[in-house]
């Protein structure tokens, strides 16, 4: 059974796509040099800035991000997740899209975020993602990555909706991708708890690339990109600086945990 290294990258993305692509490549190269086979970039890896600028850049970013992922996957021979980038979706709207690309540059899976972050936080900051983002039309896919494992996609705020991950696990996901740009405010209390819960209840690995630090305006993100094993143990934590969290992913370990803790098989038919 397969065992490999997975890396969750952590960036402080800015409103400057060139700087962001350069920072992302540096970390992809570092992860590859350390032996990673599966590498994840966070949500908004190519652009963190205001809505007007994001909408203006969306056609360019959509094309550049897809091309960047293909080029990087081939150049560094890794399976690469782009954890969220804008794709034009009609007047004044984008999708928030993730793409998973194989090491030969082939598109393995694509997902448009379905849960949008429309929240008023107690710190006075209001988020209205739906003002400029259109929700995806389909639940996220599960894809078999040749030689690695079956991977389920999701993005950021999705982590608060356990039914999404139950569906991924039911479709055979062995590793859950949860790339994020979590707010510092919610992150301090919710981020790690939610991620560990998703790992434990689905007895699955969680790979959670993250944004960290101060971006534009008052936007501050939580950091702590994590790799979590199917028991819920945090295997690697990137802290608060740009960098990476890297750990082995071992399908034999997952099979053992699932045999010892068969909760996925004990789901009550009345509840699904």
Ligand X SMILES: O=C(O)CNC(=O)[C@H](CS)NC(=O)CCC(=O)C(=O)O
The catalytic residues are 43, 113, 156
Contact 217, 15 (CB under 8 A): no
Q: Which of residues 162-191 bind ligand X (CB under 6 A)?
A: 181-183, 186, 190
C-alpha dihedral (14, 18, 23, 25), degrees to nearest 10: 140
Binding piece for ligand X, criterion CB under 6 A, among 75-83, 156-164, 234-242, 248-256: 156-164
Please, what is the minimum distance in Å from the beta carbon of residue 114 to ligand X? Answer: 12
Joined together, the tokens standing for residue 98 give 């993730």
Rounded Cα–Cα distance for residues 259 and 37 (Å): 26
Q: Does 117 participate in binding ligand X (rule CB under 6 A)?
A: yes
**Shorter beta-carbon distance to ligand X: residue 110 or 222:** 222
Cβ-proximal residue to ligand X, closest one: 186
Nearer to ligand X, 64 or 253 (CB): 64
Distance CA 154, CA 212 (A): 19
| Secondary structure class of 76 (helix, strand, coil) | helix
Instruction: Let me know: does 173 contact 129? Beta carbons within 8 Å.
Output: no
Give the shortest CB-253-to-ligand X separation in angstroms.
29
Q: Where are the alpha helices (DSSP H) in 95-247?
A: 162-170, 184-186, 192-202
| Subset of 64-103 contacting ligand X (CB under 6 A) | none
Neighbours of 186 (CB within 10 A): 19
Of the residues 64, 74, 150, 160, which one makes contact with ligand X according to CB under 6 A: 160
127 contacts ligand X (rule: CB under 6 A): yes
Question: Does the footprint of ligand X cover residue 257 (CB under 6 A)?
Answer: no
Using the rule CB under 6 A, is 43 a contact of ligand X?
yes
Rule CB under 6 A: is residue 192 a binding residue for ligand X?
no
The DSSP output letter for 189 is I
CB of 157 to ligand X, least distance (A): 4
- Cβ atoms within 10 Å, residue 124: 8
Binding to ligand X, residues 215-244 (CB under 6 A): 219
Binding of ligand X by 47 (CB under 6 A): no
CB of 108 to ligand X, least distance (A): 23
Find the binder of ligand X among 41, 81, 153, 156 (CB under 6 A).
Answer: 156
Decide if 187 contacts 43 (C-beta within 8 A).
Answer: no
Q: How many residues bind ligand X (CB under 6 A)?
A: 15
Tell me which residue of 110, 128, 109 sits closest to 119, measured CA to CA.
128
Among 129, 139, 213, 248, the residue binding ligand X under the rule CB under 6 A is 129
The reply on whether position 44 binds ligand X by CB under 6 A is yes
Q: Is residue 48 within the footprint of ligand X (CB under 6 A)?
A: yes
Neighbours of 125 (CB within 10 A): 14
CB 49 within 8 A of CB 186: no
Minimum Å gap between C-beta 112 and ligand X is: 13
Helix axes 51-76, 17-33, angle to 10 degrees: 30
Binding site for ligand X (CB under 6 A): 43-44, 48, 117, 127, 129, 156-157, 160, 181-183, 186, 190, 219
């Amino acid at each position: 059974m397969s065992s490999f290294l997975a890396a969750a990258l952590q960036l402080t993305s800015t409103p400057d796509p060139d700087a962001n692509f350069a920072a992302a490549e540096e970390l992809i190269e570092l992860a590859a040099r350390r032996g990673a086979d599966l590498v994840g970039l966070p949500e908004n890896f190519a652009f963190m800035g205001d809505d007007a600028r994001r909408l203006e850049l969306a056609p360019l970013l959509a094309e550049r991000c897809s091309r960047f992922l293909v080029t990087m996957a081939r150049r560094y021979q890794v399976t690469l997740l782009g954890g969220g980038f804008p794709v034009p979706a009609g007047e004044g709207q984008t999708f928030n899209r993730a793409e998973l690309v194989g090491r030969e540059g082939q598109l393995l899976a694509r997902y448009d975020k379905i849960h949008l972050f429309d929240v008023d936080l107690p710190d006075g900051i209001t988020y209205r993602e739906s003002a400029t983002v259109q929700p995806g039309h389909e639940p996220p896919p599960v894809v078999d990555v040749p030689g690695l494992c079956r991977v389920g996609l999701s993005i950021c705020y999705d982590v608060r909706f356990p039914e999404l991950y139950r569906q991924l696990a039911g479709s055979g996901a062995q590793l859950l991708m949860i790339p994020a740009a979590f707010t510092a405010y919610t992150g301090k209390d919710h981020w790690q708890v939610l991620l560990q819960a998703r790992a434990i209840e689905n007895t699955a690995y969680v790979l959670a690339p993250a944004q960290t630090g101060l971006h534009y305006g008052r936007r501050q993100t939580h950091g702590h990109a994590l790799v979590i094993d199917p028991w819920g143990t945090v295997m690697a934590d990137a802290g608060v600086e740009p960098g990476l969290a890297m750990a082995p992913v071992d399908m034999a370990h997952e099979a053992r945990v699932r045999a010892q803790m068969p909760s996925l098989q004990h789901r009550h038919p009345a509840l699904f």
